[in-house]
Amino acid sequence: MVSTLLRLACPDPPRRIPHERVINILLRTAHILTSGILLGGHVFAIPSPRLEGLLLATVVSGAGLIGLELFRSCRFVYLGQGAMVWLKLLLVLAAGIWWAQRVPLLSAATVIASVGSHMSSRYRHYSLRDGRVVE
Protein backbone atom coordinates (compact mmCIF):
# COMPACT_ATOMS: atom_id res chain seq x y z
CA MET A 1 0.00 0.00 0.00
CA VAL A 2 2.71 2.51 0.99
CA SER A 3 4.91 1.60 -1.97
CA THR A 4 1.94 2.02 -4.34
CA LEU A 5 1.21 5.47 -2.94
CA LEU A 6 4.88 6.39 -3.18
CA ARG A 7 4.98 5.29 -6.84
CA LEU A 8 1.87 7.37 -7.56
CA ALA A 9 3.24 10.44 -5.77
CA CYS A 10 6.79 10.13 -7.12
CA PRO A 11 6.59 8.42 -10.52
CA ASP A 12 9.80 7.55 -12.31
CA PRO A 13 10.06 9.20 -14.77
CA PRO A 14 8.05 12.22 -13.60
CA ARG A 15 4.66 12.80 -15.24
CA ARG A 16 4.40 15.21 -18.15
CA ILE A 17 1.39 17.24 -19.20
CA PRO A 18 0.64 18.63 -22.65
CA HIS A 19 2.09 22.12 -23.17
CA GLU A 20 3.83 21.96 -19.79
CA ARG A 21 6.65 24.29 -20.86
CA VAL A 22 4.24 26.94 -22.15
CA ILE A 23 2.16 26.74 -18.95
CA ASN A 24 5.31 27.01 -16.83
CA ILE A 25 6.56 30.04 -18.77
CA LEU A 26 3.18 31.79 -18.52
CA LEU A 27 2.86 31.12 -14.79
CA ARG A 28 6.46 32.11 -14.10
CA THR A 29 6.14 35.31 -16.11
CA ALA A 30 2.93 36.25 -14.27
CA HIS A 31 4.56 35.43 -10.94
CA ILE A 32 7.69 37.48 -11.59
CA LEU A 33 5.66 40.42 -12.90
CA THR A 34 3.11 40.51 -10.08
CA SER A 35 5.57 39.80 -7.27
CA GLY A 36 7.96 42.47 -8.58
CA ILE A 37 5.23 45.09 -8.73
CA LEU A 38 4.00 43.98 -5.30
CA LEU A 39 7.48 44.36 -3.80
CA GLY A 40 7.78 47.79 -5.40
CA GLY A 41 4.44 48.73 -3.89
CA HIS A 42 5.76 47.88 -0.44
CA VAL A 43 9.07 49.68 -1.05
CA PHE A 44 7.19 52.84 -2.02
CA ALA A 45 4.60 52.45 0.78
CA ILE A 46 1.55 52.09 -1.45
CA PRO A 47 -1.53 51.52 0.75
CA SER A 48 -2.19 47.81 1.28
CA PRO A 49 -5.73 47.80 -0.20
CA ARG A 50 -4.26 48.93 -3.55
CA LEU A 51 -1.89 45.92 -3.49
CA GLU A 52 -4.45 43.22 -2.71
CA GLY A 53 -5.09 42.28 -6.36
CA LEU A 54 -1.34 41.93 -6.94
CA LEU A 55 -1.04 39.79 -3.82
CA LEU A 56 -3.82 37.51 -5.05
CA ALA A 57 -2.24 37.22 -8.52
CA THR A 58 1.15 36.47 -6.96
CA VAL A 59 -0.32 33.77 -4.70
CA VAL A 60 -2.32 32.18 -7.53
CA SER A 61 0.61 32.14 -9.97
CA GLY A 62 2.97 30.80 -7.28
CA ALA A 63 0.48 28.10 -6.29
CA GLY A 64 0.17 27.20 -9.97
CA LEU A 65 3.94 26.79 -10.27
CA ILE A 66 4.09 24.63 -7.15
CA GLY A 67 1.09 22.61 -8.32
CA LEU A 68 2.75 21.99 -11.68
CA GLU A 69 5.90 20.68 -9.95
CA LEU A 70 3.92 18.52 -7.52
CA PHE A 71 1.88 17.04 -10.35
CA ARG A 72 5.08 16.02 -12.12
CA SER A 73 6.43 14.40 -8.95
CA CYS A 74 6.19 15.00 -5.22
CA ARG A 75 9.97 14.61 -5.11
CA PHE A 76 9.93 18.37 -5.57
CA VAL A 77 9.33 18.83 -1.84
CA TYR A 78 12.75 17.43 -0.89
CA LEU A 79 14.86 18.54 -3.84
CA GLY A 80 17.08 21.62 -3.69
CA GLN A 81 14.66 23.58 -5.86
CA GLY A 82 11.78 22.69 -3.54
CA ALA A 83 13.81 23.66 -0.47
CA MET A 84 14.38 27.10 -2.01
CA VAL A 85 10.63 27.49 -2.58
CA TRP A 86 9.86 26.50 1.02
CA LEU A 87 12.48 28.98 2.28
CA LYS A 88 10.96 31.70 0.10
CA LEU A 89 7.49 30.89 1.44
CA LEU A 90 8.74 31.12 5.02
CA LEU A 91 10.18 34.56 4.32
CA VAL A 92 6.92 35.72 2.72
CA LEU A 93 4.91 34.40 5.69
CA ALA A 94 7.35 36.11 8.05
CA ALA A 95 6.66 39.38 6.20
CA GLY A 96 2.99 38.98 7.03
CA ILE A 97 3.83 38.42 10.70
CA TRP A 98 6.54 41.08 11.08
CA TRP A 99 4.89 43.73 8.92
CA ALA A 100 7.40 46.49 9.74
CA GLN A 101 10.16 44.27 8.32
CA ARG A 102 8.24 43.28 5.19
CA VAL A 103 10.50 45.07 2.68
CA PRO A 104 13.74 43.35 3.79
CA LEU A 105 11.94 40.00 4.16
CA LEU A 106 10.27 40.23 0.74
CA SER A 107 13.58 41.39 -0.76
CA ALA A 108 15.30 38.35 0.75
CA ALA A 109 12.55 36.12 -0.71
CA THR A 110 13.20 37.67 -4.12
CA VAL A 111 16.93 36.98 -3.83
CA ILE A 112 16.23 33.37 -2.79
CA ALA A 113 13.87 32.98 -5.75
CA SER A 114 16.44 34.31 -8.19
CA VAL A 115 19.26 32.16 -6.82
CA GLY A 116 17.00 29.10 -6.70
CA SER A 117 15.96 29.58 -10.32
CA HIS A 118 19.49 30.00 -11.60
CA MET A 119 21.58 27.63 -9.49
CA SER A 120 23.16 24.69 -11.27
CA SER A 121 21.19 21.48 -11.70
CA ARG A 122 23.46 19.64 -9.27
CA TYR A 123 21.95 21.81 -6.53
CA ARG A 124 18.42 22.20 -7.95
CA HIS A 125 18.06 18.44 -8.37
CA TYR A 126 19.94 17.44 -5.23
CA SER A 127 17.74 15.22 -3.07
CA LEU A 128 17.90 16.19 0.59
CA ARG A 129 16.25 12.83 1.35
CA ASP A 130 18.60 10.65 -0.69
CA GLY A 131 21.80 12.70 -0.37
CA ARG A 132 22.46 12.68 -4.13
CA VAL A 133 21.41 14.30 -7.38
CA VAL A 134 18.13 12.88 -8.71
CA GLU A 135 17.52 13.15 -12.44
- For 131, other C-beta atoms within 10 Å of its C-beta total 7
| Maximum Cα interatomic distance, the chain, rounded to a whole number of Å | 53
Confidence of residue 105 (pLDDT cuts 50, 70, 90): very high
4-8, 20-24, 31-35, 56-60: the lowest-pLDDT one? 4-8
For the stretch 66-104, pLDDT in tens is: 999 999 988 999 999 999 999 999 999 999 999 999 999
Domain count, the chain: 1
Residue 131 to residue 133: CA distance in whole angstroms: 7
**pTM higher than 0.85:** yes
**Structural domain span for residue 108:** 2-9+17-133
- 3 state DSSP class of 1: coil
